[in-house]
Amino acid sequence: MTYQLHYWPGLQGRGEFIRLALEEAGADYVDVVRLPKEQGGGAGALMKAMADPDQPFPPFAPPFLKDGELIIFQTTNILAYLAPRLGLAPEGEQRRVFAAGLQLTIADAVVEAHDTHHPIAGGLYYEDQKAPAKARAADFIAHRLPKYLGFFERVIRRNPDGPGWAVGDGLTTVDLSLFQLVAGLTYAFPRGMAPFGNACPRLSRLCDAVKARPNIAAYLRSDRRIPFNETGIFRYYPELDQDGTWVVEEV
């Protein structure tokens, strides 16, 4: 059965965390919005599906996934559903619930990264909230970046199943999502992320290892990978970036 991913066109957004899992696994999927209109593609069809009055299990917002009759929304929920089916979940209950906790923590970091450019309202233009955006971005770079990235560095360092991945002894959706998080943060805050390689050597190597996986490398070169841009979660506004001087404590 072909997985149907439903997400906004023209941006990586939250859909990208799901695309990376599907691409790594070589799964049979279709990015529905990119289909021709007569095959159900386009933003109009997405809005219509969102407003379908006959859907008994309506999603709050994209992305949502259809697997046959089943409909699933919320990014971390979709990843939790896909991970074991795609061979991207760790083994055992402790590692499963730990992976879920990490995935949710990545989602929290994504919200905070988004809110650096929209601290007042998602429905208002960035230009109408520039001053608070500067204040929020400055705090994000100084305090939140090291808190999140330092935590993930620690998780990799402590992984009892050997070095390299976040949880368990192989690649999981958590690693793919960490790659995407770091890529997005580096795009949005090149100056703020300057300390990253030195401060988080294990997480940095993990990202390189994800990027080098054959399916991911091919995907990143393809036109299925939408470039980062200023309609997504991670936006490069030079006035929000500033030199990062953060360090990560080894605990």
Closest CA to 171 of 202, 196, 206, 205: 206
Residue with tokens 């899992």: 21
User: Please, what is the minimum distance in Å from the beta carbon of residue 107 to a copy of itself?
Assistant: 8
Binding part of the chain for a copy of itself, among 5-13, 102-110, 174-182, 195-203 by CB under 8 A, reads 102-110
Task: Return the bridge partners of 64, or none.
Answer: 6, 73
The only residue of 105, 172, 177, 180 in contact with a copy of itself, by rule CB under 8 A: 105
User: From the list 1, 47, 124, 218, which residue makes contact with a copy of itself (rule: CB under 8 A)?
Assistant: 124
For a copy of itself, which is the closer residue by CB, 29 or 140?
140
Site stretch for a copy of itself (CB under 8 A), options 13-21, 152-160, 184-192, 195-203 = 152-160
H/E element, 70: strand 70-73
Q: Which of 174, 65, 166, 180 is nearest to 113 (CA)?
A: 180
Provide, rounded to whole angstroms, the least separation between the CB of residue 129 and a copy of itself. Answer: 8
Phi and psi at residue 5, to the nearest 5°: -95, 125
**Rounded Cα distance, 24 and 236, in Å:** 27
C-alpha of 32 from chain center: 19
Site residues (vs a copy of itself, CB under 8 A): 51, 53, 55-60, 69-74, 76-77, 80-81, 93-95, 97-98, 100-101, 104-105, 108, 111, 115, 119-121, 123-124, 129, 132, 135-136, 139, 143, 151, 154-155, 158-160, 251
